[in-house]
Structure 1
Amino acid sequence: MNTTAAQFPYPWQRCKIIHLVRHGQAMHNVEGDKNREALLSPHLFDAQLSPLGLQQVAKLRNDVHASGLLRRIELVVTSPLYRTMQTAIGVFGSESHEDGGNENFSVISALNCPQIMAVELCRDRLMDGEHDNMWNPDVREPEEEVAARMVQFMKWLWTRPEQEIVIVSHGIILQHILNVLGNDCHPTVRSNLCKRFGNCELRSVVIVDKSLIGADSQLCSPRDVAKENVLRKEVSS
């Protein structure tokens, strides 16, 4: 690695570590593997996790605990759909709900786990309900509107005081978030970061607020790093 070209110092106060997690396999994923049109079914828009999805959640929970990551996380932001809330609470919630099956989501503010906050801006492209102004029964939200919503979401995220945050959402939403953040990355890094998410995959980045030097908030690193390494920016290896 060319260290002269790859390292840039930034104040820790202007950085955030973001852990992006796609929900575990849900029943709409199961049906979608059989028939892609099933993904547009209004009966599956708020699908629950499948039995395999619950196993994926339990495995990720074990990994998060074993790595010590849970102790560092200050906030978990989740899409308000059932499958993402099951995943968020199953992985990052209290010990009594490690299977992700907590029906009333009573552990959202439980002790000994980070705050879990449902945020509409990071939900999936399709929502049911006559009062949802983003929902259309026949057409999914256009890609450009999703991208614009992710810009708005990231602006909101920067207003949060927490510096190490988890986002539990949907594959397409997480890819759009990385697209928003990765404009200044080396093309090979950007390509790797923005690839399709697997169910219950966790992908970590460091982002830097460069607004005081004439640039938008941007991606700093594709790696899960500790706070003492946050000032390093690796664009190649």
Structure 2
Amino acid sequence: MTISFSLAASVALHDNYHRIHLPPVPLPLPSRPSPPSSVSWSRRLTIVRFTCGFSDMDNNASSSLFPLHRCKTLHLVRHAQGIHNVEGEKDYKAYLSTELFDAHLTPLGWDQVDNLRKHVHACGLARKIDLVITSPLLRTMQTAAGVFGGESYADGVSAPPLMVANAGNSRRPAISSLNCPPLMAVEYCREHLGVHPCDKRRSISEYRHLFPAIDFSLIENNEDILWKADIREANEEVAARGMKFINWLWTRKEKEIAIVTHSGFLFHTLNMFGNDCHPVIKKEISKQGYHGIRVSSNQVLPGLEPITKASSLSSVPIQMSLQALN
């Protein structure tokens, strides 16, 4: 849980870190140097204190200072339960089945989508999101449209539907693109590539018919040339692709971005962070589920509550900070 209250500075407490927002009102510069405890900055900054909670790490606690305008907040969402998850839990070899090609969501998966949608609207997050980025696979786009899309689509509405009725055997009504953030499909955040048919995408021309209002302009090839039937992408390659994705995010102007992706992609990408943390913390970062992880340019500050098993679905906030340039 995050607790916020108003003092001279607004302080947010979350498990293993403290975040302090200094007031945005410009303050006069002191006539002589002030001690470090004085609030003397003339613009809004974010202070992050690394407080891991381990006694043997107390002497290693450190502080980082970042201008707030150089921060992005990412809301990570692992797709809801797909048919491949159900079959793969019964028999791992099922992942090799061509019947699971571009796996769609199960009825339970759609229930998870509905529950997360209620949450993002109830907490006000739906109004804050500037952009939704989704992996271009059926299960992630179904999740993205269901969670962040408009209300049910009705004939006579001028805007194209975000998702057409019964897309991917969903037995769901069409979803409107009205009053929702833009959705964009990006290949960088796909699941492990190769071998497993469930991770192979359809043609973009087919997706455009199923999801008319999703932006596919950044995907260069209509057919899936990245997926190889006999070569499975190595974990290190997934991690490297994830870092390219993170670097690409810095080219975007949006500050609050939701990313609908896959557990394997999240696991290997986030595993690239936290090398300067205690091994126990590093291990927590590498788990299948994440909650309240904060990423800056040089450290990861985790909240240690695992999520995202096949029976649950949640969004995960991450704040990326880039140090001020000279």
- TM-score tier by shorter-chain length is 0.7 to 0.9
- Distance in 2 (alpha carbons) for counterparts of 1:58 and 1:37: 30
1:7: Cα distance to partner? 3.9
1:8: Cα distance to partner? 2.4
In structure 2, the CA distance between the partners of 1:188 and 1:19, relative to structure 1 (3 Å rule), is farther
1:33: Cα distance to partner? 1.1
1:195 partner amino acid: K
Query: Contact 2:164/2:175 (CA < 8 Å) preserved in 1?
Result: no
1:202 partner amino acid: S
- Distance in 2 (alpha carbons) for counterparts of 1:181 and 1:55: 32
Deviates more, 1:45-54 or 1:3-12: 3-12
Task: Give the match's secondary structure for 1:77.
Answer: strand
Q: Which has the higher contact order (CA 8 A, sep 6+)?
A: 1
Query: Contact 1:129/1:135 (CA < 8 Å) preserved in 2?
Result: no
Aligned to 2:234: 142
Aligned to 2:187: 120
Deviates more, 1:9-18 or 1:76-85: 9-18
Aligned to 1:59: 115
2:235 partner amino acid: E
Aligned to 1:203: 316
In structure 2, the CA distance between the partners of 1:82 and 1:163, relative to structure 1 (3 Å rule), is same
Q: Is 1:165–2:278 an aligned residue pair?
A: no
Query: Contact 2:70/2:324 (CA < 8 Å) preserved in 1?
Result: no
CA RMSD of aligned residues (A): 2.8
Deviates more, 1:201-210 or 1:53-62: 201-210
TM-score under structure 2 length normalisation: 0.58
1:136: Cα distance to partner? 1.8
Could you tell me which runs of 5 or more consecutive residues in structure 2 were left unpaired when the two chains were aligned: 1-16, 19-48, 51-60, 154-162, 169-173, 194-199, 204-222, 290-307
Query: Contact 2:240/2:269 (CA < 8 Å) preserved in 1?
Result: no
1:14 partner amino acid: R
Deviates more, 1:81-90 or 1:40-49: 40-49
1:77: Cα distance to partner? 0.4
Kindly name which structure, 1 or 2, has the bigger radius of gyration based on alpha carbons.
Answer: 2
Runs of 4+ in structure 1 deviating by more than 6 angstroms, as ranges, are none
Aligned to 2:89: 33
Describe the superposition over 1:13-46 as per-residue Cα deviations: whole angstroms up to 9, x where unpaired. Answer: 2111111110000000111011101123233131
Aligned to 2:69: 13
Describe the superposition over 1:115-145 as per-residue Cα deviations: whole angstroms up to 9, x where unpaired. Answer: 1111111111132579534322133211111
1:169 partner amino acid: T
Query: Contact 1:181/1:207 (CA < 8 Å) preserved in 2?
Result: no
- Distance in 1 (alpha carbons) for counterparts of 2:281 and 2:148: 28
More helix by share: 1
In structure 2, the CA distance between the partners of 1:188 and 1:96, relative to structure 1 (3 Å rule), is farther
Aligned to 2:271: 179
Query: Contact 1:39/1:45 (CA < 8 Å) preserved in 2?
Result: no
Task: Give the match's secondary structure for 1:32.
Answer: helix
- Distance in 1 (alpha carbons) for counterparts of 2:277 and 2:113: 30
Sequence identity (%): 49
In structure 2, the CA distance between the partners of 1:64 and 1:145, relative to structure 1 (3 Å rule), is same
Equivalent residues, number: 210
Describe the superposition over 1:66-115 as per-residue Cα deviations: whole angstroms up to 9, x where unpaired. Answer: 11111111111000000000000100111217xx885459758x231111
Q: Is 1:85–2:141 an aligned residue pair?
A: yes
- Distance in 2 (alpha carbons) for counterparts of 1:121 and 1:115: 18
Could you tell me which runs of 5 or more consecutive residues in structure 1 were left unpaired when the two chains were aligned: 214-237
- Distance in 2 (alpha carbons) for counterparts of 1:32 and 1:55: 20
Aligned to 1:193: 285
More strand by share: 2
